[in-house]
Structure 1
Amino acid sequence: MKLVPTYHFTMAIPLASLLLPLLLSTALAEYAQDLLRQAVGEREWIVGVRRRIHAHPELAFREHRTSALVREELERLGITCRSVAGTGVVADVGSGLSPIVALRADMDALPLQEIVFCNDHVLLAVHLRCQELVEWEHKSTVDGVMHACGHDVHTAMLLGAAKLLHERKNQLKGTVRLLFQPAEEGGAGASHMVKEGVLHGVEAIFAMHVDHRIPTGIIAAHAGPTQAAVCFYVVRIEGKSGRAETPHLNADPIAAAAFTILSLQQLTSREDDPLHSQVLSVTYIKGGKSIDVTPSFVEFGGTLRSLTTEGLHRLEKRLKEVVEGQAAVHRCMGVAEILGAPDYPMYPAVVNDERLHHHVEIVGRHLLGPDKVKPGEKIMAGEDFAFYQQLVPGVIFGIGIRNEKAGSIHSLHNPHFFVDEDVLPIGAALHTGIAEMYLTGRSTLDED
Structure 2
Amino acid sequence: MGSGRCVLLALLLRLLLLSEPPAGVSAAGSSSSFLGEAKDAEVFQWMRGLRGRIHEHPELAYEEFETSRLIREELDAMGIPYKHPVAVTGVVGFVGTGGPPFVALRADMDALPIQMCSLMGCRSNFVMILQESVEWEHKSKVSGKMHACGHDGHVTMLLGAAKILQRHREDLQGTVVLVFQPAEEGAGGAKKMIEDGAVENVEAIFGFHVDSENPVGVVTSRPGPVMAGSGFFEAVISGKGGHAAIPHHTIDPIMAASNVIVSLQHLVSREADPLDSQVVTVSKIQGGEAFNVIPDSVVIGGTFRSFSRESFAQLRQRIREVIVGQASVQRCTATIDFLDDKVSHFPVTVNSEDLHQHFVEVAGDVLGSNNVRTRQPVMGSEDFAFFSEAVPAAYYYFLGMKNESQGPLKPPHSPFFRINEEVLPYGAALHASLAAEYLAQAHTRSAAAQAQGQVHDEL
> TM-score, structure 1 length as denominator?
0.86
1:114 to 126, 132, 144: 132
Query: What percentage of aligned pairs have identical amino acids?
Result: 46
Shift of 1:263: 1.7
Q: Once the two structures are superposed, what CA deviation does each residue of 1:48-71 show, in whole Å capped at 9, x if it has no partner?
A: 211221222212211111100000
Residue 235 of structure 2 aligns to a residue whose secondary structure is strand
Is the 1:221–1:361 contact (alpha carbons within 8 Å) kept by the matching residues of 2? no
**CA displacement 1:5-34 (0-9 Å, x = unmatched):** xxxxxx9599x9xxx9xx979979951443
Q: What residue in structure 2 maps to residue 201 of structure 1? A: 201
Aligned to 2:144: 144
Alpha carbons 1:226, 1:352 under 8 Å: kept = yes
Match of residue 421 from structure 1: 421
**Deviates most, 321-330 or 384-393:** 321-330
Say if 2:31 and 2:436, in contact at 8 Å, map to a contact too: no
Q: Could you say if the C-alpha distance between residues 89 and 407 of structure 1 is closer, same or farther in structure 2, counting changes exceeding 3 Å?
A: farther
Could you say if the C-alpha distance between residues 408 and 70 of structure 1 is closer, same or farther in structure 2, counting changes exceeding 3 Å? farther
Say which is worse superposed, 406-415 or 353-362, in terms of deviation.
406-415
- Does the aligned pair in 2 maintain the 1:101–1:176 contact within 8 Å? yes
Give 5+ residue unaligned stretches, structure 1.
1-10, 117-130
Deviations 1:91-124 (A, max 9, x none): 11111111111100011112232223xxxxxxxx
Conserved 8 A contact 1:401-1:408:
no
- Are residue 359 (structure 1) and residue 361 (structure 2) matched? no
- State the alpha-carbon separation in 2 of the partners of residues 249 and 34 from structure 1: 77
The 5 Å alignment of 1:8-407 reads 31-41=30-40, 42-83=43-84, 84-112=86-114, 113-116=131-134, 131=135, 134-135=136-137, 138-242=138-242, 250-289=250-289, 293-342=293-342, 344-392=343-391, 393-406=393-406
- Asked if 2 retains the 8 angstrom alpha-carbon contact of 1:190 and 1:388, the reply is yes
Counterpart residue type for residue 76 of structure 2: E
1:331-368 CA-to-partner distances (Å, cap 9, x unmatched) read 221122111344x2211111111111111111000111
CA distance in 2, matches of 1:324, 1:55: 47
CA contact (8 A) 2:107 2:179 kept: yes
Counterparts of 1:257 and 1:282, CA distance in 2:
11
Question: Could you report, residue by residue, the CA deviation over 1:228-261 in whole angstroms, capped at 9, with x for unpaired residues?
Answer: 2112211111223345566555433233222222
Q: CA deviation at 1:439?
A: 0.9
Structure 2 Cα separation of the partners of residues 225 and 153 of structure 1: 25
Residues 257-313 of structure 1, C-alpha deviations (whole Å, 9 max, x = no match): 222222211111111111111111112323334555543222211111112343222
More deviation, 102-111/250-259? 250-259
* Counterparts of 1:414 and 1:315, CA distance in 2: 29
Please give the secondary structure, in 2, of the residue aligned with 1:418: coil
Shift of the 376–256 alpha-carbon distance from structure 1 to 2, 3 Å rule, reads: same
Q: Using a 3 Å threshold, how does the CA distance of structure 1 residues 330 and 33 change in structure 2: closer, same or farther?
A: closer
Could you tell me how far apart the structure 2 residues matched to 1:37 and 1:291 are? 64
- Distance apart, 1:395 and its partner CA: 0.8
Q: Provide the C-alpha distance between the structure 1 equivalents of 2:406 and 2:326, rounded to a whole number of angstroms.
A: 54
Deviating more after overlay: 290-299 vs 218-227: 290-299
In 2, the alpha carbon distance for the partners of 1:151 and 1:35 equals: 22
8 Å CA contact 2:227–2:382 kept in 1: the answer is yes
Q: Shift of the alpha carbon at 1:163?
A: 1.2
**Alignment CA distance shift 1:204-1:329 (3 Å):** same
Over 3 Å counting, the alpha-carbon distance change for 1:284 and 1:36 in structure 2 is closer
Residue 387 of structure 2 aligns to which amino acid in structure 1?
Y
Kindly state the Cα deviation for residue 407 of structure 1 after the two structures are TM-superposed. Answer: 5.3
More displaced stretch, 346-355 vs 210-219: 346-355
Alpha-carbon contact 1:239-1:250 (below 8 Å) kept = yes
Whole-angstrom distance in 2 between the partners of 1:25 and 1:180 = 27
Q: Is the 8 A contact 2:68 2:91 kept in 1?
A: yes
Letter paired with 2:358: H
2:207 aligned counterpart, secondary structure: strand
2:302 & 2:433 partners in 1: Cα distance?
41
CA distance in 2, matches of 1:295, 1:160: 56
Unaligned runs of 5+ residues in structure 2 are 1-8, 115-130, 449-459
Contact 1:207–1:395 (CA<8 Å) still a contact in 2? yes
Aligned length: 414
Change (3 A) 1:245 1:139: closer
Q: Shift in Å at residue 200 of structure 1?
A: 0.6
**1:36–1:429 contact (8 Å) kept in structure 2:** yes
Q: Aligned partner of 1:66: which letter?
A: T
Seen in structure 2, the aligned counterparts of structure 1 residues 46 and 271 have a Cα distance that, compared at 3 Å, is: same
- In structure 2, what is the Cα distance between the partners aligned to 1:322 and 1:13? 68
2:345 aligned partner, one-letter code: M
Deviation (angstroms), 1:78: 0.8
